[in-house]
Structure 1
Amino acid sequence: MKRIQKLHLRNFKAFRDQEFDFTGGPHDPDGRNVLVYGNNGSGKSSVFWALYTFLQSVGKTPPTDIAKYFVPLRDGAPETYESLRYVFAGPDEEASIKLTWADLPGAATVTTQQLGLDKAGADPLNEQQPLSVAQRTRTGPASGTDTTIREALLSSDFIHYRFLQDFYQRSNREGVNLWPVFMRDLFPFYQTPLFSTPAGNPQYLEEVLRIVLETAHSRRRWEKKPKEEFEADYITRANEAIGLFVNSVQTNANAFLRDQFLGGDESLQIELNFTKQLTFDLLRFAPLSAIQREWRNNIEDLAIILSVRALRPGHSEVRHYRPQSFLNEAQLTRIALAVRLGALLTRPANSTLKLLCLDDLLISLDMGNRKHVLDWLFGDNGKYCQEYQIFFFTHDRELYRMLKHYIGRPHSGKWRVLELVNNEQFPKPQPSLLDGDSNDHFTQAWRRFQAEDFPACANYLRKETERLLKEILPPADLYMYPNEKGETIPMPMGTQLDKLQQLFIKLGKGDNMGKLHDLQLFKQILLNPLSHDSFSTTVYQSELHTMLVDTIPELQKMRRSVVAELPSTGQKLIYLTETDSENTRYTYTIELYETLWAYTFPDGSVAYSHPACQVLERIDDKGKKTVFNKKQGTCEGLADGYRRICFALGKKPEGGGQPIPLLPKPLHTIITTTI
């Protein structure tokens, strides 16, 4: 059994660069079922279509069939109109979907594959430059040889709310013809025993239809056989295969409708009739596109008609051939779900990676009918939650709360809950990812922003800023000395922000503050006023959004960690090793008077604090010891001590030409806490 651990989208649909982690964290690396909540436009469907596109790629040939989803969209170039590329991406930027999956349990074997276009190369849709296509199309699913992904495609299902529209977005004069639905969503995944592959395996129904169509169009082939023989070998068997599949879907759909929605009642039944079937003349004279991959569009005038049979005690049976005129939207939704989930039960069961992706599937149902579907999904001792990796997407807050209740039940498996947020009024919407199980200040700020409760949003942003400053600044920069009552008083936020700027400058990062330069401004116009008088202060919505998407995430990247901490009693010694110009190795014993900190900055660089210290002694590699008195060994800081050591050894320290000499990076190459 395998599960997806991570999904990384780069310039795909709504996302510029976003990684989704579906595990339980470093100590629980197994991929989980996933619940994603977000308002319209927040990027939920982008995740849905990323998973769908990745799995579908195994059946795409040539490479341009994959590349078309990642190329820049160009006016007047129809070959780019299927692009799913992030619209604000530059023409030379990478666009890709990266998927990581692993075995259960424990993620013993981890596999990562990437699909998309890199930064280099010519136009990948130019058929005159096939090499550039190969260079820009990543290996992996695009090659069509990955067994795991191919099996996952055939065993998984992606059910989108638009699927339901095929059932009831028709006039009352029309019947409901589900042939396009079967062609698009069902035939590619059903194996019929009536046709075999060259290897002797059952053939997929979509492939059967392609072969029949091409054979009917091939004059060289059909002229060698009488029409009757061709019909017996191909058309009659193909119609029989389609009929058997349609009947199996009907049987499963009625069982689902009866057991999940009607409480065992069989008074309402679905009928699927393959009324307009394949004929030789229909196939022979159908227009065959020169582009073979569009052959599906050339099989027309076929029909699988949906009707409803109503059985009422004491009354005659009634058939409704236009159910959209007889049933309401909720009832039609139940039928559509029954048909689609009935087809799911015909899928191969032997895949090690099986996904069930449901995008806003229950929005047309009331709470009672939603409960019926969720009872099925989470019932049978969690059968489907264990057999499939479920991805459930919704924008409905009540359904989201309902689902969170269900996933907390026994046997529902482990779940990862995520929230996506976006604000459509900004020119370049950037979805942000939140932990749906979290109620921290930052998550609450986003939720208040989405609800347009801007004063509360600002209040939570202030709390998050205070929390982060406590994690980043050393204790001496956070608190004032005890007052006359002996109380330690926190410094005002403005003072703490000044200390943050001084920290950047002191450690040689003054030019790297970037988006953090605006913290003081935001503190003055947003955080401070709104915390005291939220009703009379003008709320700057754009600035709040900037804090949410830029400033606070940048501050969250900063870290302060202990390298060497002062004990409550006794000395704290560290040992610094360096060589002189003749390559003689010396180990210096240094006593720290302050804690030695390591700071990670938003750009990923690391710098170290300069605690006051004293060099006590040194020992060379032959065991000769030199002891320093207090005047000789006292240093303004560790960097000052290192600079003096280097000059004494005839070496120039790294960063020695700067106003405040910096310690080498990485620090662990010259300093240890034990000898």
Structure 2
Amino acid sequence: MKIKRIHISNYRAFLVNDDQEASRYMLDLPNGENLLIYGENGSGKSSLFRALKDFFNTVTNPQPFQKNLFYEAGNTSEPPFIDIEIDDNSHHRFSSDGNQYLLVNNESGGNTNYITQANITNGFISYRDLLKLHFRQDNQEPDLVSLFLGQDGLFSDMVVPAPAQPENKIAYKKLWIKCGGLDREALTDYNTNVTALFGELETKANMLLGFFQKECSLKIEYTDGVINDNTLNNPTISFKVKLFGKDLPEHDDMLNEARLTAIAISVFLAHQLCIPPAELKILFLDDIFIGLDMTNRIPLLKILTSDDLGDGSSFKDSQIFLTTYDREWFNVAKSYLGDWQKTEFYVDNHSSSIDRPLIKKSGSYEERAWFYLTQGDYPACANYLRKAFEQKLRDILPENMLRSGFSRSDNDTSHIIVSKKHLSINQNDEVWFFMPKESNAKNISQSGFTGLQKLIDKFETLIKGYGIDFQHIDDLNRIKNRLLNPLSHHDLRSPIFKTELETGFTILKELNKVKTQIIVEVPDENPVYLFFDKGDANTGNDYKYKFQLLENLILLEYNGEERMLNAECKPIARFLKSDNSEEPREGKNQKSLSDLCKGICIFSMLHKEDKRNVVFNPDDLINEVYTEAGQTLKNLL
């Protein structure tokens, strides 16, 4: 069981100003991947750590939701939340509305107790947690009993595995409460099981410590709790460290930070290996590299990715989240963690008056453009913004406008061999264009190369042709030169250039509202036929007209308006509905369904009628067209 999506709104650093930003803080892990995160100081990576930790804690221990300090109720349609989607298609939420955990959806209908189990595993480890093992406050030794066995200790919610008394098979913290009632049998079960538990913890910690430094070894000493004179005396826990076989009486004062950190990491990870298996096991390591030098960081990656740590155990069943503030180390770690997802957190102080995180999502030109805007690298921002516009416009434009004469098919494996002296090649982000040369080696035409300028022109033709009121088209034309050639600006860091880029983001935001949906897809292998019924006024017969769709039939939507885009089609035949007899009627290709249906309607009118001023509603005609399965296009919308 793994997390496949995390969605956060107005929790701690994750400020969302309005519903347009609703998906700003969404991390997709579609296959339940592990995640490596680089984050600047103050970029929100620790807020992500706290978000997941609070989410799982609130299932068993309700607590206040930590809203963003600058959140204003009413700016978003939903109250602040932390959403988790699991790969069993269940959807869980920690909402500020009542500070409660909610099971939003559970498609499988299965048991979701794994959420509670994930909290018991205590898999959230930060650098501050590591300090608890060796940091002395007021010259006092660390309180290891509270760390491991206290009310919120690492093992406190773990069920005692092998008590002599069956009624003592309860969580360690509950059994200790029984011990407080001077129950000697309970205390015996407690001491026996804790001794065995810390023996296992010691063995596994030394196994992991061997990945870092073979010269160090650890001994965990547990002294039983006892009842004397009707008083329960607490147990004690202490760590004894050897270096090159020699005892170190005060190891926390004698070892350097790298060795202390390696010991602490080994103990915390060994704790995870001692926890019974769980369906959902989260291991979140937040900035624990701080105390490690480079030579001790690589061993940690080997521990996390090993198939066998030495005793058959591993972290393969855990979903791991690993954060670092060290950019150089992040780049090194990426090469070791090839199948992990990687993302980057930055401080965004441009898109809002309040500093907040910016999550750099790979593969999104718009997100990369935002990132470079926040970093003040305006030429790079303009470059990715141009790519974002080109990508979006290509998604919107239909095939017959985008590349007349070219096919989008990925299945076309035909080829042709032409001498280089007769052919030149251009390319954009999506395709290559091969163009013949004149004898003087100049290109005859580059009309097929649809860069941003031509894409904008084609988009303008599209919206005007279909009567769509896209009010930003003039603004887009005004800034296109900056996007086409950002280096032409005389001052690359001037407020004017930044303002133009911000205008570009505003236009792109509006452009993203333009949606296209394929209603009927035309595959390369098999023809697609559509039908239209019409009675012939001259013969009195009812006919079914058959025609072939040659291009995908696409619906365009914007601001509540819908337009069926032109798709080329070809008349094939008509059938007499009374006996289904066929009359071949193959004709010329028509540029749209409405033109073809209009032609059929005019042809079916009485010959003596004046057809010059006849008006048909294109939408009404198209809605009556149906597929071979009998579905009308109206029902497919």
CA contact under 8 A between 2:67 and 2:80: conserved in structure 1? no
Residues 147 and 153, structure 2, Cα contact 8 Å, conserved in 1: yes
Q: Cα distance, 1:406 vs. partner?
A: 1.5
Partner residue in 1 for 2:326: 396
- Where 1:341 maps in the other structure, the secondary structure is helix
Letter in 1 for 2:353: P
Is the contact made by 1:155 and 1:354 (CA closer than 8 Å) also made in structure 2? yes
Conservation of the 8 A alpha-carbon contact between 1:421 and 1:446 = no
Partner of 2:126: 160
CA distance in 1, matches of 2:388, 2:300: 39
What amino acid maps onto 1:33 in structure 2?
N
For the residue of structure 2 that corresponds to 1:187, the secondary structure is coil
SS in structure 2 at match of 1:124 = coil
C-alpha displacement of 1:307: 5.1
Aligned pairs, how many? 565
Contact 2:82 2:95 in 1 (8 A): no
After TM superposition, list the pairs within 5 Å mapping 1:112-511 onto structure 2.
112-117=90-95, 124=98, 146-155=112-121, 157-167=123-133, 170-171=136-137, 173-182=139-148, 183=150, 184-193=152-161, 195=163, 202-212=169-179, 216=181, 230-234=182-186, 238=190, 242=194, 245-246=197-198, 248-257=200-209, 259-263=210-214, 265-266=215-216, 269=218, 271=220, 309-311=241-243, 317-320=247-250, 323=252, 325-349=253-277, 351-380=278-307, 384-408=314-338, 414-425=339-350, 426-427=352-353, 434-436=360-362, 445=369, 448-449=372-373, 451-474=375-398, 477=401, 486-489=444-447, 490=449, 493-507=452-466, 509-510=468-469
Q: Which residue is 1:27 aligned to?
A: none
Confirm or deny: 8 A CA contact 1:34 1:418 kept in the other structure.
Answer: yes
Please state whether the residue corresponding to 1:387 is helix, strand or coil.
coil
Distance of 2:121 and 2:114 partners within structure 1: 10
1:410-445 CA-partner distances (Å, limit 9, x unpaired): xxxx43334445514533667565555x5x755654
Q: Does 1:639 align with 2:565?
A: no
1:405 to 1:92, Cα distance in 2 relative to 1, 3 A:
closer
Distance 1:360 1:9 in 2: 21
CA–CA separation in structure 2 for the residues paired with 1:616 and 1:471: 31
> For 1:271 and 1:534, how far apart are their aligned partners in 2?
67
Q: Which residue of 1 aligns with 2:544?
A: 587
Counterpart amino acid of 2:172? Answer: L
Tell me if the contact between 2:258 and 2:291 (Cα under 8 Å) persists in the aligned partners. Answer: yes
Identical positions, percent: 24
Asked if 2 retains the 8 angstrom alpha-carbon contact of 1:177 and 1:306, the reply is: no
Query: How big is the shift at 1:348?
Result: 0.6
In 2: Cα distance, 1:666 partner to 1:243 partner = 78
Cross-structure match for 1:608? 564
- C-alpha deviation, 1:168, in angstroms: 5.7
User: After superposition, what is the alpha-carbon deviation per residue over 1:244-264, rounded to whole angstroms, capped at 9, x for unaligned?
Assistant: 54554345434433x12222x
Distance 1:555 1:305 in 2: 60
AA of the residue aligned to 1:93: E
Rounded Cα–Cα distance in structure 2 between residues aligned with 1:11 and 1:644: 57
Question: Unaligned stretches of 5+ in structure 1?
Answer: 24-29, 70-81, 103-109, 126-132, 217-229, 284-300, 409-413, 651-655
Secondary structure of the residue aligned to 1:191 is: coil
| Residue aligned with 2:147, SS | helix
1:112: Cα distance to partner? 0.9
SS where residue 322 of structure 2 aligns?
A: strand
- Provide closer, same or farther for how the CA distance between residues 147 and 495 of structure 1 changes in structure 2, counting only shifts above 3 A: closer
SS at match of 2:155: helix
Q: Say whether residues 1:619 and 2:543 are aligned partners.
A: no
Tell me the distance in 2 between the aligned counterparts of 1:553 and 1:307. Answer: 61
Give 1:370 shift: 0.5
Aligned-pair CA distance for 1:535: 5.1
Amino acid at match of 1:486: I
Mapped contact 1:115–1:139 kept (Cα < 8 A): no
Alignment root-mean-square deviation, CA: 5.2
Contact kept in structure 2, 1:586 and 1:619, CA below 8 Å: yes
Matched, 1:575 2:575: no
Please give the alpha-carbon distance, in whole angstroms, between the structure 2 residues aligned to 1:520 and 1:430: 32
Cα distance between partner residues in 2 of 1:274 and 1:424: 54
Q: Hey, what does 2:632 align to over in structure 1? A: 670
Quickly say closer, same or farther: Cα 1:573–1:330, change in 2 above 3 A. Answer: closer
Structure 2, unaligned runs of 5 or more: 17-21, 406-434, 606-614
Distance in 2 between the 1:88 and 1:546 partners? Answer: 26
Mapped partners of 2:499, 2:153: distance in 1: 43
Match of 1:59 in 2: 60
| Residues 598, 145 of structure 1: alpha-carbon distance in 2 compared, 3 angstrom cutoff | closer
**CA apart distance, 1:156:** 6.4
| Residue identity opposite 2:480 in structure 1 | K
Cα pair 2:398 2:554 within 8 Å, conserved: no
**What is the distance in 1 between the residues matched to 2:358 and 2:161?**
48
Match of 2:554 in 1: 598
Contact 1:354 1:389 in 2 (8 A): yes
**TM superposition shift of 1:359:** 2.2
Query: Contact between 1:273 and 1:306, CA under 8 Å: does it hold in 2?
Result: yes
Alignment deviations for residues 372-413 of structure 1 (CA, whole Å, 9 cap, x no partner): 2222222355863533232323333223222222223xxxxx
Equivalent residue in structure 2 for 1:22, among 25, 29, 36? 29
Task: Determine if contact 2:530/2:625 at 8 Å carries over to the other structure.
Answer: no
Residue of structure 1 in register with 2:429 after alignment: none
In the alignment, the residues of structure 2 paired with residue 34 and residue 139 of structure 1 have an alpha-carbon distance, to the nearest angstrom, of: 25
- Could you tell which deviates more after superposition, 159-168 or 609-618? 609-618
Structure 2 CA distance, aligned partners of 1:419 and 1:6?
16
Does structure 1 retain, via aligned residues, the 8 Å contact 2:532–2:544? Answer: yes
Deviates more, 1:549-558 or 1:5-14: 549-558
Counterparts of 2:218 and 2:341 in 1: how far apart (Å)?
A: 37
Q: Is contact 1:590–1:615 with CA below 8 Å preserved after alignment? A: yes
What amino acid sits opposite 1:348 in the alignment?
A: P
Contact 2:624–2:632, Cα closer than 8 Å, also in 1: no
The amino acid that maps onto 1:175 is: E
Deviation at 1:634, TM superposition (A): 9.4
Contact 1:58 1:146 in 2 (8 A): no
Distance in 1 (alpha carbons) for counterparts of 2:382 and 2:126: 36
Aligned mates of 2:626, 2:516 — CA distance in 1: 16
Q: Which amino acid aligns with 1:423?
A: D
Which residue of structure 2 aligns with residue 224 of structure 1?
Answer: none
The answer to whether the 8 Å contact 1:477/1:496 transfers is no
User: What does residue 128 of structure 1 align with?
Assistant: none
Q: Structure 2 CA distance, aligned partners of 1:234 and 1:151? A: 24
Structure 1 or 2: more helix by fraction: 1
